[in-house]
């Protein structure tokens, strides 16, 4: 018995140091790809000497995630800065009174359409909602691409494509924006029809992207970062920006957003981190990363081959506040259509 | 006072209070939701009722499949002389270490199957080790005389029938556990529904409600599922008790059945079953290590090597933290589980079944709800250090996974002859000493295995890892983060790394028990 | 206040619908020996377990050495507070403890430690002829040796009442002869009152005291 206590004592000795608490100068919740967000946060630590506690998110496997944690923590906030890889939930947090203004010269350098008028959030490093295409498959199928996402479910296109159900992530945001701009009933009818149209409805953009890579379909509606991942993995894919004709409004851009959490006791460090995130340097870093994020800062230099909004493609103008309101209202309607 | 400390109920009561203290914060609001009348009115809505009942029959089919595969696997690996039987027995539980979503991806990649039936099949394969493990334990203690007399009277056929009868109670419980895990899984049906024909399951309804700002909406949505799970577990325990029979025997264990000339055929069947539950999807995951598009640079081998290197470099510290937190939770289980297990083992019939069902509640509730409950409980002014620290993580993990350790130990404690305990009782040994001497020390390997299982489940846990500050920088979060961002090679390599590390203690345990057997 | 070693009255024991002991009474003077015989299922073991405080009864009062141990079927004294020991039919040895540790554990529970405990344990081991087995664990003992260890463990605490539950059941003829010799040794070594339950009349006679058959008295037909 005594001999068997040895491994137990060793276990205690190994695990006890983990119990020690640590002091932090800043707490950041980051829902961006950990492979990119982690080195960016570490770089910030090295430069400023501040100790950052980073918390990362997961959207796969259907968890609730950091947004709900921020809401659950509202009575005793722990987080100083939330780095969200999309925008809708950031506005939701603002509406719940969980953010506070964090404006500076650096944030004001971002174009006004990508930051909050009251300074509660600022956008940077965006993704575009695009069609990812396998040209070989498209040619073999003898078909062409839908010029607008509205035509994806038309009989001549639907069976060749795939899109994620608009229940989570950027697809939910995308259809909420469309619902707000074009009318809720029209969008709901379109989504209902999509189920019967023959288009492959998946659980996420990454799945759609993978199915195109596997050769299941010639194209899919996805985000630029997913398309970039496919290309980085050695698949010969092309990215097409939809809705570029005069008749339709342009491609949707969904930026990363940064906001300062209300009740933060480390406001100075929080502002410093937000300024760092929206700097041209970080935008360039993310543009050069595998995710190929689209820089929004006018001074940020885009790598060769990366198309820039306004310059290379038309951008859908969005009233993000109104879109966020719409999202909250239509989310359950979307669930009713797809959760059956 | 000394007399009081000799009382089992004092110690067990204290342990039960401590265990209750671990879980009451996270669990309380979820359980309270069950007693709110409106929790069940949602089932009156046709859409909700449809997905609820679909989830029930899908989980029932998965559980049936798990039994159909798990039971023969247990018999072949543990009680017959098939080729590599020991290795088969060792590898069977490995499936439980892999996230079901990874298995689903493996199966889809291999076969292209998708939709509802693919979900039923995948979950059946994922949880086949549960009936297999419980059945193998029951088969291991089948008295030699019973087996040999069956062999003499009716040959292999009767011997196999006797094995099935012996394993039946354990299979009933294993099947109900497979049902519980299948019906609460959302990732696999969601994945398969997205690839093929769309269908919804009830955990999706629960998940969608937990995303609302109103915590109660999630708790209310979860209530029918929690109650159903508790009911199924109770029925599983009831079936186990009803079918259990005391078989008089000398204590000599039954020998393995020789298949004679049919050995190759049965061996092939056994390895095929393991192929379904583990080897084929695992093979696909290994293949994913270096898979890339036609224009990717390098060979499969060079890309696989890069993936493994990246998994090791980037994930090393997270894996260390995960194991450290999980080990502390295992340590708490190590201390508390024997008292609670003894409490359960000393009860019989309905009381025991009710106690076991109550004990299992922390496992039956959705992880998301448990984590949100923990935040509501521990994130309060003045508690920041505790809330941010490892202490909370350890306590929450220990509370959630303690039932696994308690169940395993209770089952072992039940097999201890009553006279050993009563001899200690009449001699006046103190209760802790009695527990240690009569129950724990003779079952030392089971005690360590129980804590080991807590470690395994804590390392695998994702929902709590995202929601608890001290648990966030973990292997689970890094793994699923990479999965979401489609880093296939890294995901495969990191998944394998975690599985190997989780499997290592099981291998050491197997080696150690084998050495101990030789000692005796 | 009675000075009997054991004074039991009005005992009712039932398992479900089946009554095992009905209005059973029993008295035993200090140092007295009683053999209780009866076929299987007559409640012999149940009676011993009730006396030892290991299970309650539906009704009955029990005094042990003048102390009220059970009233209305409810056990008032814990098993270790009764100054008795029970030798179980399957012995109940602890698999991870050596023979000597079995005895030392029993003595430690009574507050005896150190050299005093060691001395007394060695004395008991010698008395029962198992001193050479002191460092063995139960798995390495023969059936007869294990039986001696169980008796030694019970006797080392100097109980005032010794309960023996079929100590020689299922032994072959040679082992039974050895068993009887051992019983003689045990009886010589203790002045405790002894209750032995057995289904074997020869064993009952060998005890040399009063005999009571549960087949004929206080039990259902």
Domain that holds residue C176: 31-55+81-213
Check if B290 contacts A (Cβ < 8 Å).
no
- What is the average per-residue pLDDT within C145-164? 89
- Contact assignment for C96 to B437 by CB distance below 8 Å: yes
Q: Which of A4, A76, A202 is the closest to B381 by Cβ?
A: A76
How far, in Å, CA of A75 to CA of A77, rounded?
Answer: 6
Rounded distance between C-alpha atoms, residue A194 and residue A187, angstroms? 10
Asked if pLDDT for residue A59 goes beyond 70, the answer is: no
Range of the domain at A13: 3-125+255-308
Q: Which pLDDT value is given to residue A10?
A: 62
pLDDT in tens, B230-285: 999 999 999 888 887 655 545 567 778 888 888 899 999 999 999 999 899 888 88
- Residue among C84, C109, C139 whose CB faces B429 most closely: C109
pLDDT at B252: 62
C-alpha dihedral over A155, A158, A160, A162, to 10 degrees?
180
Distances (CA, A) of B444 to A15, A123, B310, B328, B437: 21, 57, 38, 18, 10
What torsion do the CA atoms of B14, B16, B21, B26 make, to the nearest 10 degrees? Answer: 180
Structure tokens at B94: 């490995």
Q: Is residue A321 part of a domain?
A: no
Which H or E run includes A259? strand A253-261
Alpha-carbon gap, residue A66 to A72, rounded angstroms:
9
Distance CA(B135)–CA(B516), nearest Å, equals 23
The three-state DSSP-derived secondary structure of B188-219 is HHHHHHHHCCCCCCHHHHHHHHHCCCCHHHHH
Is residue C202 included in any domain, yes or no? yes
B341 band by pLDDT with thresholds 50, 70 and 90:
very high
Domains of chain B in sequence order: 41-267 (1.10.3720.10), 310-345+391-520 (1.10.3720.10)
Closest CA to A23 of A266, A259, A275: A266
Cα C187 from chain centroid (whole Å): 12
The residue in chain C having the minimum alpha-carbon distance to the alpha carbon of residue B8 is C78
Task: Using alpha carbons, list the distances in angstroms from residue A148 to A194, A241, C38.
Answer: 14, 9, 94
**Per-residue pLDDT, A250:** 87
Inter-chain CB proximity C95 and B433 less than 8 Å? no
Asked whether residue A10 falls in the same domain as residue A95, the answer is yes
Q: Is residue A246 one of the residues assigned to a domain?
A: yes
In this prediction, residue A20 carries a pLDDT of 47
pLDDT at B33 over 80: no
DSSP label at residue C131:
G
Report phi then psi at A63, rounded to 5: -105, 170
Mean pLDDT rounded to a whole number for chain A:
87
Tell me whether residues C94 and B429 touch, CB distance under 8 A.
Answer: no
Are A136 and A118 within one domain? no
Is B235 within 8 Å of B52 (Cβ atoms)?
Answer: no
Lowest average pLDDT, out of A16-25, B179-188, B261-270, C49-58, goes to A16-25
One domain, residues A103 and A42 = yes
Residue range B433-444: average pLDDT? 90
Contact residues on chain A for B204, CB-CB shorter than 8 A:
62, 339
Mean pLDDT of chain C: 86
Q: What is the mean pLDDT of residues A254-258?
A: 95
Question: Which residue of A4, A27, A42, A61 is the best one to mutate when testing the B interface, meaning the one whose CB has the most B CBs within 10 A?
Answer: A61
| pLDDT > 70: percent of chain A | 90
A121 lies in the same domain as A132: no
State the Cα–Cα distance between residues B197 and B189, nearest whole angstrom: 11
User: Is the confidence at residue A1, as pLDDT, over 50?
Assistant: no
Residues β-bridged to residue A56 = A30
Q: Higher model confidence: residue B191 or residue B280?
A: B280
Would you tell me how many other CB atoms lie within 10 Å of the CB of residue B80? 21
Q: Please report whether residue A313 resides in a domain.
A: no
3-state secondary structure of A15: helix
CB-CB contact of C143 with C175 (8 Å): yes
DSSP H or E segment with residue B79:
helix B46-79
Q: How many residues does chain C have?
A: 221
Contact B427 C80 (CB under 8 A): yes
- Are both A203 and A269 inside the same structural domain? no
What is the sign of the dihedral through the CA atoms of B349, B351, B354 and B358? negative
Residues 176-195 of A with CB under 8 A from B: 195
Cα(B288)–Cα(B300) distance, integer angstroms: 9
Give the distance, in angstroms, between the CA of residue B29 and the centroid of all CA atoms in the same chain.
Answer: 24
Nearest CA in chain B to A166: B194
Bridge partners of residue A254, in order along the sequence: A127
pLDDT tier, B482 (very low <50, low <70, confident <90, very high otherwise): confident
State the Cα–Cα distance between residues B319 and B497, nearest whole angstrom: 9
Instruction: With beta carbons less than 8 A apart as the criterion, state whether A123 and A255 touch.
Output: yes
**Residue pair B277/B474 in contact by the 8 Å Cβ criterion:** no
- The Cα–Cα gap between C180 and C168 comes to 8
Q: Is the pLDDT confidence value at A219 over 50?
A: yes
The answer to whether the CB of A297 falls within 8 A of the CB of A55 is no
Please indicate, yes or no, whether residues A334 and A204 belong to a single structural domain of this protein. Answer: yes
**Region of poorest pLDDT, from A4-18, A102-116, C98-112:** A4-18
Q: In what order do the strands lie in the sheet with C18-28?
A: C18-28, C6-15, C59-64, C67-71, C74-75
The pLDDT confidence band at residue B70, using thresholds 50, 70 and 90, is: very high
Answer whether B121's CB lies under 8 Å from B58's CB: no
In a domain, C171, yes or no: yes
Chain C residues within 8 A of B429 when measuring between CB atoms: 80, 105-106, 108-109
**A229 with B324: Cβ contact below 8 A:** no
In a domain, C188, yes or no: yes
CB contact under 8 A, B419 and C78: no
Whether residue A205 sits in one domain with residue A74: no
Contact across the interface for C79 and B3, Cβ inside 8 Å: no
At B520, the pLDDT band (50, 70, 90 cuts) reads very low
Task: Give C185-198 pLDDT, tens digit per residue.
Answer: 777 777 889 999 98
Task: Give a yes or no: residue C26 inside a domain.
Answer: no
Report whether pLDDT(B14) > 60: yes
User: Which chains border A (3 or more CB–CB pairs < 8 Å)?
Assistant: B
A104 and A132 in a single domain? The answer is no
Answer yes or no: is A97 within a domain.
Answer: yes
Whether the per-residue pLDDT at B123 is higher than 80: the answer is yes
- CA pair distance C192, C163, nearest whole angstrom: 10
B266 vs A: CB within 8 A: no
Closest CA to A141 of A233, A88, A216, A238: A216
Average pLDDT estimate for A164-183: 88
Residues 6+ apart with CB under 8 A from B318: B473, B474, B475, B477, B478
d(CA B393, CA B389): 7
Give the mutation candidate from B49, B53, B109, B198 for the A interface (greatest A CB count, under 10 A): B198
Q: Which residues contact B140 (CB under 8 A, 6 or more apart)?
A: B78, B253
Compute the average pLDDT of residues C95-105.
90
What's the rounded Cα separation, in Å, for the pair B22 and B454? Answer: 15
CATH number, position A115:
3.40.190.10
Domain assignment present for A299: yes
In a domain, C127, yes or no: yes
Find chains touching chain C: ≥3 CB pairs under 8 Å.
B
Contacting residues of C for B417, CB less than 8 Å apart:
90, 92
Distance of alpha carbon C119 from alpha carbon A265, whole angstroms: 70
For residue A105, the distance in angstroms to the closest alpha carbon of chain B comes to: 32
pLDDT in the model for residue B346: 86
Query: Do A20 and A108 belong to one domain?
Result: yes
Name the nearest CA neighbour of B277 among B75, B500, B95, B502: B95
3-state secondary structure B139-162: HHCCEHHHHHHHHHHHHHHHHHHH
Residues pairing with C62 in the sheet: C8, C70
Q: Would you say residue A324 lies in a domain?
A: no
Q: Is residue C190 part of a domain?
A: yes
Question: Would you state the pLDDT for residue C219?
Answer: 42
Averaged confidence pLDDT in chain B: 85
Residues A111 and A245 in one domain: no
Distances (CA, A) of B386 to A54, B324, B362, B377, C180: 17, 17, 21, 11, 66
**What's the rounded mean pLDDT across residues B167-178?**
90
Of C81, C79, C127, C78, nearest to C103 by C-alpha is C127
The answer on A273 and A150 residing in a single domain is no
Please tell me the total count of domains within chain A.
2
- Asked if C95 lies within 8 A of B427 by C-beta distance, the reply is no
Q: Do B425 and C90 touch (CB under 8 A)?
A: no
Q: Is C89 helix (H, G, I), strand (E, B) or coil?
A: coil
Q: In angstroms, rounded to a whole number, what is the distance separating the alpha carbons of residues A94 and A89?
A: 9
Higher pLDDT, B352 or A58: B352
CATH number at residue C186: 3.40.50.300
**Is C20 within the bounds of a domain?**
no
| Size of chain A, expressed as the number of residues it contains | 340
- Contact in structure between C62 and C8 (CB atoms under 8 Å): yes
Q: Is the pLDDT of residue A14 over 60?
A: no
Looking from the CA of C138 toward its CB, the CA atoms found within 13 Å total: 20
Task: Flag whether A317 is in a domain.
Answer: no
Q: Structurally, how many domains does chain C consist of?
A: 1
User: Nearest 5°: CA angle at B261, between B257 and B262?
Assistant: 65
Say yes or no: A29 and A121 in one domain: yes
Answer with the residue of higher pLDDT: C124 or C215.
C124
Bridge partners, residue C165, by sequence? C197
Closest C-alpha among B435, B452, B426 to residue B512: B452
Looking at residue B232, its pLDDT comes to: 93
Interface of C with B (CB under 8 A): 49, 52-54, 78-82, 84-86, 88-97, 105-106, 108-110, 139, 150, 153, 157
Whether the per-residue pLDDT at C168 is higher than 90: the answer is no
Q: Is A194's pLDDT higher than 90?
A: no
């Amino acid at each position: 018995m005594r001999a068997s206590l040895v491994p137990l004592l060793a276990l205690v000795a190994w695990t006890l140091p983990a119990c020690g608490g640590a002091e932090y100068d800043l707490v950041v919740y980051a829902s961006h790809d950990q492979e990119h967000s982690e080195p960016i946060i570490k770089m910030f630590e090295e430069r400023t000497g501040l100790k950052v506690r980073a918390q990362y998110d997961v959207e796969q496997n259907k968890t609730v995630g950091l947004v709900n944690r921020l809401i659950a923590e509202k009575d005793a906030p722990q987080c100083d800065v939330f780095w969200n890889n999309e925008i809708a939930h950031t506005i939701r947090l603002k509406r719940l009174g969980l953010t506070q203004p964090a404006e500076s010269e650096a944030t004001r350098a971002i174009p006004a359409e990508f930051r909050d008028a009251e300074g509660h959030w600022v956008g940077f490093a965006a993704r575009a909602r695009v069609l990812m295409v396998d040209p070989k498959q498209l040619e073999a199928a003898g078909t062409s691409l839908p010029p607008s996402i509205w035509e994806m479910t038309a009989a001549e296109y639907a069976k060749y494509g795939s899109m994620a159900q608009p229940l989570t992530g950027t697809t939910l945001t995308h259809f909420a924006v469309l619902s707000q701009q074009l009318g809720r009933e029209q969008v709901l009818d379109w989504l209902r029809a999509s189920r019967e149209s023959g288009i492959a409805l998946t659980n996420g953009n990454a799945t759609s992207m993978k199915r195109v890579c596997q050769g299941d379909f010639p194209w899919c509606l996805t985000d630029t970062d997913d398309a970039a991942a496919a290309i980085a993995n050695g698949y010969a894919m092309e990215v097409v920006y939809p809705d570029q004709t005069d008749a339709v409004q342009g491609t949707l851009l969904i930026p990363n957003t940064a906001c300062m959490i209300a009740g933060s006791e480390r406001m100075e460090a929080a502002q410093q981190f937000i300024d760092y995130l929206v700097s041209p340097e970080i935008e360039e870093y993310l543009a050069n990363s595998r995710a190929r994020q689209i820089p929004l800062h006018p001074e940020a230099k885009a790598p060769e081959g990366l198309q820039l909004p306004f310059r290379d493609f038309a951008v859908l103008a969005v009233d993000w506040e109104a879109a966020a309101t719409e999202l909250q209202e239509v989310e359950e309607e979307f669930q009713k259509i797809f959760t059956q | 006072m000394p007399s009081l400390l000799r009382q089992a109920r004092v110690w067990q009561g204290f342990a039960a209070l401590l265990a209750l203290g671990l879980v009451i914060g996270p669990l309380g609001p979820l359980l309270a939701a069950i007693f709110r009348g409106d929790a069940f009115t949602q089932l009156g809505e046709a859409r909700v009722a449809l997905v609820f009942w679909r989830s029930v029959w899908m989980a029932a089919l998965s559980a049936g499949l798990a039994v159909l595969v798990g039971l023969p696997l247990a018999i072949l690996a543990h009680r017959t002389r098939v080729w590599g039987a020991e290795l088969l027995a060792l590898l069977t539980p490995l499936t439980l270490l892999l996230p079901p979503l990874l298995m689903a991806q493996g199966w889809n990649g291999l076969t292209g199957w998708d939709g509802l039936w693919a979900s039923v099949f995948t979950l059946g394969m994922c949880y086949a080790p549960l009936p297999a493990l419980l059945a193998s334990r029951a088969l291991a203690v089948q008295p030699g005389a019973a087996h040999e007399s069956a062999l003499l009277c009716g040959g292999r056929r009767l011997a196999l029938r006797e094995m099935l009868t012996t394993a039946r109670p354990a299979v009933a419980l294993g099947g109900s556990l497979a049902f519980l895990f299948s019906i609460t899984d959302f990732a696999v049906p969601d994945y398969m529904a997205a690839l093929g024909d769309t269908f919804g399951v009830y955990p999706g309804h629960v998940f969608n409600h937990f995303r609302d700002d109103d915590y109660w909406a999630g708790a209310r949505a979860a209530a029918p599922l929690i109650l159903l799970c508790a009911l199924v577990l109770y029925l599983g325990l009831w079936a186990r008790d009803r079918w259990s029979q005391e078989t008089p025997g000398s204590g000599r264990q039954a020998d393995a059945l020789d298949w004679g000339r049919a050995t190759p055929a049965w061996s092939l069947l056994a390895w095929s079953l393991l192929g379904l539950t583990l080897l084929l999807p695992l093979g696909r995951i290994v293949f994913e290590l270096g898979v890339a598009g036609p224009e990717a640079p390098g060979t499969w081998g060079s890309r696989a090597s890069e993936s493994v290197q990246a998994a090791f470099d980037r994930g090393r510290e997270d894996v260390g933290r995960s194991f450290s937190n999980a080990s502390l939770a295992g340590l708490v289980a190590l201390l508390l589980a024997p008292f609670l297990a003894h409490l359960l083992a000393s009860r019989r019939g309905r009381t025991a079944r009710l106690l076991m069902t109550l004990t299992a509640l922390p496992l039956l509730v959705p992880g998301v709800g448990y984590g949100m409950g923990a935040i509501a409980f521990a994130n309060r002014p003045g508690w920041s250090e505790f809330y941010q620290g490892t202490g909370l993580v350890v306590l929450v993990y220990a509370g959630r996974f303690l039932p696994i350790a308690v169940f395993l130990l209770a089952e072992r404690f039940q097999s201890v002859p009553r006279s050993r305990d009563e001899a200690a009782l009449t001699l006046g040994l103190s209760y802790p000493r009695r527990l240690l001497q009569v129950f724990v020390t003779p079952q030392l390997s089971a005690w360590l295995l129980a804590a080991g299982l807590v470690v395994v489940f804590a390392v695998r846990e994702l929902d709590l890892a995202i929601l608890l500050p001290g648990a966030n920088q973990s292997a689970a979060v890094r793994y699923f983060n990479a999965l979401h961002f489609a880093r296939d090679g890294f995901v495969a390599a990191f998944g394998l790394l975690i599985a190997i590390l989780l499997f290592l203690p099981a291998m050491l345990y197997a080696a150690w028990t084998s050495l101990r057997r030789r000692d005796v | 206040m009675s000075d009997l070693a054991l004074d039991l009255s009005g005992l009712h024991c039932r398992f479900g619908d089946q009554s095992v002991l009905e209005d059973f009474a029993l008295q035993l003077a200090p140092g007295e020996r009683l053999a209780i015989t009866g076929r299987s299922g007559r409640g012999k073991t149940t009676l011993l377990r009730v006396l030892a405080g290991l299970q309650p009864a539906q009704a009955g009062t029990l005094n042990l050495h003048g102390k009220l141990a059970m009233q209305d079927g409810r056990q008032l004294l814990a098993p270790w507070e009764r100054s008795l020991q029970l030798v179980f039919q399957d012995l109940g040895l602890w698999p991870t403890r050596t023979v000597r540790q079995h005895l030392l554990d029993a003595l430690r529970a009574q507050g005896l430690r150190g050299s005093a405990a060691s001395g007394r344990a060695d004395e008991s081991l010698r008395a029962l002829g198992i001193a050479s087995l002191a460092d063995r664990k139960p798995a390495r003992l023969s059936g007869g040796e294990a039986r001696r260890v169980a008796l030694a463990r019970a006797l080392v605490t100097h109980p005032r009442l010794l309960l023996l539950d079929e100590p020689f059941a299922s032994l072959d003829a040679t082992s039974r002869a050895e068993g009887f010799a051992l019983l003689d040794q045990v009886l010589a070594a203790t002045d405790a009152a002894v209750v032995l339950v057995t289904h074997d009349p020869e064993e009952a006679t060998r005890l040399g005291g009063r005999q009571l058959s549960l087949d004929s008295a206080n039990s259902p037909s």
